[in-house]
Structure 1
Amino acid sequence: MLNIKELQELVNKKIDSLDIISAPRELYTPIEYTLSQGGKRIRPVLCLMASQLFKKDVNEIIFPALAVEVFHNFTLLHDDIMDNADVRRNQPTVHKKWDANAAILSGDAMMIKAYQYLCKCDAKQLPEAIELFNNVALGVCEGQQYDMEFETRNDVTVDEYLEMIRLKTAILLAGSLKLGAILAKASKKDADLIYEFGINIGLAFQLQDDYLDSFGNQDSFGKKIGGDIVANKKTFLLLSAFKNAKGEDQLNLNHWVDKKDFNSEEKINAVKQIYSKLKVDKLSEEKMNGFYEKAVHCLSQIEGENEAKKELLNFSSKLMHRIN
């Protein structure tokens, strides 16, 4: 059985060996550029880890695992256009290095490439694999739509936010795991359990990401603290604060959210004080820990290789215990 690091190396080696460039080069060069930027390869690794859990040789499903990674990177190309992002993984985004039209068309081609890789699996499992892939892909689009709508809405609820991150973030992690289970011929019960494991880990991970953006350590978190507060991003913390704030706290929170001209550090400190006073930071920790515990419970019910279970649990623990 391969460990996490070995699986990451396997995925990277396979991506490096792909013969992507063909005519017209202008279509395929941005794809090669995007895939060469690396990353943790979390989604294909989860797919392969799930296959090992059910005694499948990972080399037999490496291309379907790559399909998940190619699809994920396709969504990033289009997300970067919508967000007008300049940088991705410390490199210029595709629409900045080339232009928006190149990013849109190359992204479309990546989506098709993902299906080509997905189809390189046992024909008996292909219909179920495609159905899962379609449902996950559509869910990611639904999550992105909700995320865009939330930017202009002032009545977003905590439950709506949780549904958005379930679709935008958690569903692809869950789908990656279930794909590995399906291709390893796991039982329906176990395939559903590994999916629920992924959903709960994904929700916990995103809530932790929100928490660390406000309360994390900048050096270990890897980006400047307080970006979500400055941008008035509707996170679990902000929405919970709106829900619980009354009187002076409500006035102060509205003041900082509505204020157009402000000092960023002053706003970050003021809003964090409101969060702490309302204890939404503690509420966030309780919520993410609750999802994590649900994930662990799902994993414990699965009938699979114990070593693979331990590796999945270790992987999940590392995701959830980043230094803050």
Structure 2
Amino acid sequence: MSNQRMYRVTKRRRKKKRKKLVAWFLVPLLLLTITGTAYGAYLYNKAASAIDKSFESIGLSSKREAKVNPEVDNTSILFIGVDDSDSRKYEESTRSDALILATFNQKDKSIKLLSIPRDSYVYVPKKDRYTKITHAHAYGGPKVTVETVENLLDIPVDYYVRMNFYAFIDIVNALDGIEVEVPYELNEKNAEDQHNAIHLEPGLQTLNGEEALALARTRKQDSDLLRGQRQQEIIQAMIKKATTIHAVTKYPDIIEAVGGNMKTNLTFNEMKTFVEYATAKNDLTIDTLQLEGTDGRENNSYVFNLDKDKLTETQNLLRKHLGLTNRKSVGSLSHDDE
């Protein structure tokens, strides 16, 4: 296959159960559906404490004149998965391993989810240079990652949620594993970078946390775009398991996993608003999107070169969803195209 493969934007419009929004790293807040019980009140207070400890502001978006109110405004959240672990000890210098941008339209009660390939070759304002978007987090954590995504997509990013490997592993383990389809045999590192520590055969099966992480991270036999699709499928498997009645007793463990391995500028009350958004009377409409581009090399390293015209289409789609005026010019990856 040519190194200049073109990937088409895939849009899969689906009706979701109202509560399914919660799984995008908000799984612990499923407890809000049972707060009428003593156990629910205990979970509610436990979640509030965990989220409060995870709060870390990055200031107001440069593309907003005032702070948004998710109860009435169209908003956006950037979900950042980072490849940190005890063996790496990168802390704030870690790279992002997964980026998913979610925009929320209050009037339509709809969501658009955009997976951003980690090797996308983009302009990073903080460093005034082009590089892979995965490096943005190493240059300044969530703040620089958010600024880079804002520059790339020409939209405000109001909130972020950053989680590391351990949160993912602990949530899956707390749920006693998740059932997913493994597309091919794979041998992967575990969270501590031990080579070939995880071996999976193809087929539908129940994976533990380390195995699910290996499947989410691998990209040896396909592409960054297919990797993004796998990550969405894995998260949906987490949703399915987390919304079963048997999972309720697991919520304390899930809250502990999230609270100890997450940073966010969402307050607990703002998170509650998004849960209430998800449990509105009408079913949510969720569109999943991917960027289009071609394989390339810069400084002897693989990069994913985003198609400018298709980028503009995606920018306009997201801007319209947020109630913003569309761009008229051809998309650019530069800070000069304003």
Greater fraction strand: 2
TM-score by length of 2: 0.22
TM-score for both structures, normalised by structure 1:
0.23
